[in-house]
Amino acid sequence: MDAYKSSVDFAEATAFLSHACYEQDKMALRATLKNKSILSGLLSRLSSCSSHGRVCVSPVLVAQRRNNSTSPKLKVDFNQSTGVAVMHMQNPPVNSLSLGFLTEFCIAVEKLEMDKSCRGLILTSSQPKVFSAGLDIMDMYGKKLEQYEEFWRAVQEMWLKLYSSNMVTIAAINGSSPAGGCLMSLSCDYRIMADNPRYSIGFNETQFGIVVPVWCKEAMTTIVGHRNTELTLELGLLYNPSDALKIGLVDQLVPEDQVLATATKTMTKWLAIPDHARRITKSMMRKPTIDKIMSIREADMQQYISFISKDSTQKMLGTYLEMLKKKRG
């Protein structure tokens, strides 16, 4: 129950703040998440529900629709005539999933989710050659315990929001997508990747001494099966696009300049299915995983904090950061 409430906390807070200005939003959102008394006051004014595996919030907090919103880290183009939003990630240099980015991302997805006219979401990158470099290592290195907690809650929330979305979600993977970037695309309904052998996708965490959360393992297993998950996660494998296609980590490869156009065409096909039937089916497929994750959400948080704050983990992250920086120098 606590785990469920925590998820609702964040969803409510994000929805509540989504009509205000972005910078103020983010500061207020974080303050709200930290302040349990404000949060419980907020909660008492709300009714929450769980529908088809998706956590939703009271209509009282539904933000007004704004069509083409631009924030520093995300650009959302919503086409009302097609009902499709294209979300361009623009967090240079590599679209790392920092706390700031994740906060904006959750707000943006929540806004689209609440807008009944938005039926499909395409996720892509504005950065050249990179879809997303995964979690921002700077948010996992040398921080205070409460900062680790805040960051991890945002990571969990990003995954839950995307994985349980009622919208059709398509990842238009127009660059490399390691680790958290891969997780983000795995949460979508369909993955189209640029057929460029220089790009890679997968989970490289063990290579620099960290471990993916159990819910990532669960989600991956449902997509590529137990054996492929075992090999990928234990060895920290990154695949080129054609190998990723072979194991089912992505659904389709297309020339680089056709990724977005193919995603748009594919979306039309998915949206031709009656929404209610597709949604109920999606929920039927995903709800067991979501329920499982919700039931261990707080334990997962404690496990993350204890793992990430260990001296040995911090040392390995420091070495990895150095290595990333040296690569350029």
Ligand X SMILES: CCCCCCC/C=C/C(=O)SCCNC(=O)CCNC(=O)[C@H](O)C(C)(C)COP(=O)(O)OP(=O)(O)OC[C@H]1O[C@@H](n2cnc3c(N)ncnc32)[C@H](O)[C@@H]1OP(=O)(O)O
209 is catalytic: no
Interface stretch with ligand X, choices 3-11, 54-62, 75-83, 178-186 (CB under 6 A): 178-186
Binding status of residue 213 toward ligand X by CB under 6 A: yes
Interface stretch with ligand X, choices 18-26, 37-45, 113-121, 300-308 (CB under 6 A): 300-308
Interface stretch with ligand X, choices 42-50, 126-134, 255-263, 291-299 (CB under 6 A): 126-134
Candidate list 29, 123, 135, 186, residue with the active-site label: 135
**CA-closest candidate to residue 167, choices 99, 242, 233, 109:** 109
* CA pair distance 312, 210, nearest whole angstrom: 10
Candidate residues 94, 112, 158, 301; the one interacting with ligand X per rule CB under 6 A: 94
Q: Which CB, 98 or 169, lies closer to ligand X? A: 98
Binding status of residue 327 toward ligand X by CB under 6 A: yes
Candidate list 29, 97, 205, 228, residue with the active-site label: 205
Write out the two tokens for 249.
């980590």
Pair 250, 192: CB distance under 8 Å? yes
230 is catalytic: no
Residue least distant from ligand X (Cβ): 134
Candidate list 180, 181, 202, 236, residue with the active-site label: 180
Which amino acid, 156?
A: Q
Look at the chain and count its residues.
329
Write out the two tokens for 122.
């395409």
Which amino acid, 220?
A: M
Distance of CA 319 to the CA centre of its chain: 26
Interface stretch with ligand X, choices 36-44, 115-123, 165-173, 174-182 (CB under 6 A): 174-182
Candidate residues 134, 202, 236, 241; the one interacting with ligand X per rule CB under 6 A: 134
What is the nearest approach in angstroms of ligand X to the Cβ of residue 299?
Answer: 11
Pure H helices in the chain: 2-17, 22-34, 36-44, 99-114, 145-163, 180-186, 214-235, 241-247, 259-271, 275-295, 297-308, 311-328
248 is catalytic: no
Candidate list 110, 204, 238, 249, residue with the active-site label: 204
What is the nearest approach in angstroms of ligand X to the Cβ of residue 15?
Answer: 26
Cis ω before 93 (30° cut-off from 0): yes
Is the alpha carbon torsion for 113, 109, 272, 245 positive or negative?
A: negative
* CA pair distance 51, 53, nearest whole angstrom: 5
Binding status of residue 120 toward ligand X by CB under 6 A: no
* C-alpha angle 144-147-148 in degrees, rounded to nearest 5: 90
- Helical pair 297-308 and 2-17, crossing angle rounded to 10 deg: 80
Fill in the per-residue mask, 59 to 78: x = in contact with ligand X (CB under 6 A), - = not in contact.
--------------------
Task: Look at the block and give the residue holding tokens 């920092």.
Answer: 98
Candidate residues 60, 138, 231, 284; the one interacting with ligand X per rule CB under 6 A: 138
79 is catalytic: no
Candidate residues 212, 245, 253, 259; the one interacting with ligand X per rule CB under 6 A: 212
Is the alpha carbon torsion for 173, 179, 185, 189 positive or negative?
A: positive
Interface stretch with ligand X, choices 176-184, 240-248, 273-281, 287-295 (CB under 6 A): 176-184
Which residues are part of the catalytic machinery? 135, 180, 204-205
Residues near ligand X, by CB under 6 A = 93-94, 96, 129-130, 133-138, 176, 178-180, 204-205, 210-213, 303-304, 307-308, 324-325, 327-328
